[in-house]
């Protein structure tokens, strides 16, 4: 547990990743029992079990687990930017683009019939035309006014956007006809496909109250605001179960599945539920016990791909000892990230050195990746020296003090999230060795993001970012001074400047260079710090087609189905 194709928070109160274009990979045979290498070759077709629709049966149910109830069904709202909702929207309100295995975008013709851009007088100008058959859930045809409304309120602070990266870079939207709009960016904008990858109806943007509140709450979905192969049929509050059925207004090829469900489930119960066939999918398997139990289901298999998720620690620098930059740097240097990664990933077919992460934007197999963590590597003696120099002296009980203040803070842990609990316990022990006291604060998992992280009602925590095909387009979302998704309470003008320059620089190599320079600043200020990239291990029934470990690719939910027997 994230306008445009942006970073979003993954499930199990543990998520949010940044994805970039994967390194070139050939289709090779993959063995799910072999060690997964972040730089290894992936059989992308096998990872999704890609099949022609003609070989699949009509009918069947696909059951998912989600880690929390939906706080807000508006994906662009600060409380809606999470993987749980994104997984549902992939069926009821999908992205308007198809992404290939290398992250290359093309228009989904069910939504766009024209999708092109050119640079005119130093500005990127995109021309897009909607499919004349495309309709919202209330039966109204999509039109160019929807596109105009989507961008109209990017600068309005009353609209509680999860992110305005890309949207706020639009200068104007000119309506050409009922279906066609010309979108002019303020400058050259290389990632122009990003903000045009999703769309919601103009009725959602009519005022800030509607945008912020009309879909707030676990059962507050509104099919009028969605358009896709499926629709939400019901939400059962007592069972915490969302049920989807085919959308009778869908204009594309008919969905193969009869029903898709999403049930709130404690992550600790996923493996047993999968083994008992109560659920059909476990995505991003993160423990050896779950991996082995899932692999033991006779009719199932584990598909794998490059990961789009990365674990990290986030620090709220608003007040207390963590407002001191030297303390944050000492926390980083006292943290043995390799040991924590090894513990988290123990027993999984992964080489830890291949996934240990030294960059906030690029994953190890991606173009542009460089390890910028070198100056902040594990060194308890360096951590002690930082604290000594900042005037934090050891107290009688071993905990440092300064001006009568103990060097103590709390670490917020969402209940039932074993990964976060493990990381917190290990970090607590590591920090105690340099005189830092860290107390654990368990909270309800459903309240974790809306009441603690989004509200900045925490001091330190750990979760997972899950990202997108645009690694250089989301800098402002997490690190920008005005972003509601900047959970660090830090405002660094140099980072804001970098975000603006990177977004508008046409030269690809120059963008990469500046992104890495920005990354160095983030390490120095310790806004958050990565631990490791998660490989994507996805357990599914063997006969499930066109779904699995998708990596950078996207899928069309109408084509997901079971192979005919």
Dump pLDDT digits (tens) for 509-545: 999 999 999 999 999 999 999 999 999 999 999 999 9
* pLDDT on residue 296: 95
Quote the CA–CA distance of 332 and 330 in Å, as a whole number. 5
From 109, 97, 129, 85, select the one nearest 195 (Cα to Cα): 97
Going by the DSSP 8-state scheme, the letter that residue 376 receives in this structure is G
How many Å separate Cα 117 from the centre of its chain? 27
Q: Please write the tens of the pLDDT for every residue from 140-170.
A: 999 999 999 999 999 999 999 998 989 999 9
CATH superfamily entry for domain 307-535: Dipeptide-binding Protein; Domain 3 (3.10.105.10)
Q: Please write the tens of the pLDDT for every residue from 185-222.
A: 999 999 999 999 999 999 999 999 999 999 999 999 99
Please give the structure tokens belonging to residue 407.
Answer: 């060097």
* pLDDT on residue 7: 46
Mean pLDDT of the chain: 92
Sequence-ordered alpha helix ranges (H) in 346-471: 352-355, 380-389, 418-432, 445-447
For CA atoms 512, 515, 519, 521, the dihedral sign is positive
Burial level of 551, CB count in 10 A (0-12/13-18/19+)? buried
* pLDDT on residue 37: 52
Q: Please write the tens of the pLDDT for every residue from 7-40.
A: 444 443 333 332 222 222 212 223 333 344 544 5
% of the chain exceeding 70 in pLDDT: 93
Q: Please write the tens of the pLDDT for every residue from 286-323.
A: 999 999 999 999 999 999 998 889 999 999 999 999 99
Torsion, Cα 496 501 504 508, to 10 degrees, reads: -130
To 10 degrees, what angle do helices 508-525 and 493-504 make?
160
Q: Please write the tens of the pLDDT for every residue from 436-482.
A: 999 999 999 989 999 999 999 999 999 999 878 899 988 998 999 98
* pLDDT on residue 40: 57
* pLDDT on residue 167: 95
For CA atoms 192, 363, 533, 102, the dihedral sign is positive
- Helix (H) / strand (E) containing 511: helix 508-525
Sequence spans of domains, the chain: 307-535
């Amino acid at each position: 547990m994230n306008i445009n194709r942006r970073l979003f928070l993954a499930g199990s109160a543990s998520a949010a990743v940044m994805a970039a274009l994967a390194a070139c990979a050939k289709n090779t045979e993959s063995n799910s029992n072999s060690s997964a290498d972040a730089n290894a070759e992936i059989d992308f077709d096998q990872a999704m079990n890609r099949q022609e629709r003609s070989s699949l049966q009509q009918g069947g149910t696909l059951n998912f687990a989600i880690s929390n109830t939906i706080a807000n069904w508006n994906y662009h709202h600060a409380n809606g930017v999470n993987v749980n909702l994104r997984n549902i929207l992939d069926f009821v309100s999908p992205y308007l683009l198809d992404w290939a295995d290398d992250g290359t975008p093309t228009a989904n013709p069910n939504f766009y019939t024209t999708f092109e851009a050119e640079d005119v007088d130093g500005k990127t100008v995109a021309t897009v035309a909607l499919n004349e058959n495309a309709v919202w859930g209330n039966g109204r045809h999509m039109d160019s006014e929807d596109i105009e409304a989507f961008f109209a309120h990017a600068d309005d602070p009353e609209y509680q956007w999860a992110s305005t990266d890309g949207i706020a870079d639009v200068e104007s939207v000119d309506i050409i006809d009922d279906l066609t709009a010309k979108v002019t960016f303020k400058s050259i904008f290389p990632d122009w496909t990003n903000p045009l990858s999703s769309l919601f109806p103009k009725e959602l943007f009519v005022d800030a109250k509607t945008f912020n509140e009309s879909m707030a709450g676990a059962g507050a979905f509104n099919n009028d605001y969605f358009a896709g192969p499926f629709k939400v049929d019901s939400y059962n509050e007592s069972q915490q179960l969302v049920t989807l059925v085919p959308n009778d207004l869908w204009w594309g090829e008919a969905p193969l599945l009869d029903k898709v469900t999403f049930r709130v489930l404690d992550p600790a119960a996923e493996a047993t539920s999968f083994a008992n066939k109560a659920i059909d999918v476990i995505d991003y398997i993160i423990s050896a016990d779950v991996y082995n139990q899932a692999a033991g289901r006779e009719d199932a298999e584990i598909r794998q791909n490059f990961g789009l998720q990365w674990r990290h620690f986030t620090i709220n620098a608003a007040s207390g000892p963590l407002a001191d930059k030297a303390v944050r740097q000492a926390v980083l240097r006292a943290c043995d990230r390799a040991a924590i990664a090894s513990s988290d990933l123990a027993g999984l077919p992964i080489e830890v050195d291949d996934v240990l992460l030294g960059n906030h934007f690029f994953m190890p197999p991606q173009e542009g990746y460089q390890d910028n963590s070198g100056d902040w590597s594990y060194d308890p003696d360096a951590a002690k020296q930082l604290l000594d120099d900042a005037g934090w002296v050891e107290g009688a009980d071993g905990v440092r003090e300064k001006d009568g203040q103990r060097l103590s803070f709390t670490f917020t842990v969402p209940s039932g999230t074993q990964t976060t609990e493990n990381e917190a316990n290990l970090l607590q022990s590591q920090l105690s060795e340099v005189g830092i006291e860290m107390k654990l604060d368990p909270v309800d998992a459903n309240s974790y993001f809306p009441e603690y992280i989004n509200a900045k009602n925490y001091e330190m925590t750990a979760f997972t970012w899950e990202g997108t095909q645009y690694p250089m387009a989301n800098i402002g979302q997490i690190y920008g001074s005005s972003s509601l998704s900047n959970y660090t309470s830090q405002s660094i003008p140099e980072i804001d400047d970098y975000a603006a320059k990177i977004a508008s620089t046409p030269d690809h190599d120059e963008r990469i260079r500046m992104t890495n320079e920005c990354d160095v600043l983030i390490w120095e200020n310790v806004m958050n710090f990565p631990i490791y990239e998660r490989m994507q291990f996805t357990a599914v029934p063997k006969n499930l087609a066109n779904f699995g470990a998708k990596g950078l690719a996207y899928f069309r939910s109408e084509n997901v189905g079971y192979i005919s027997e």
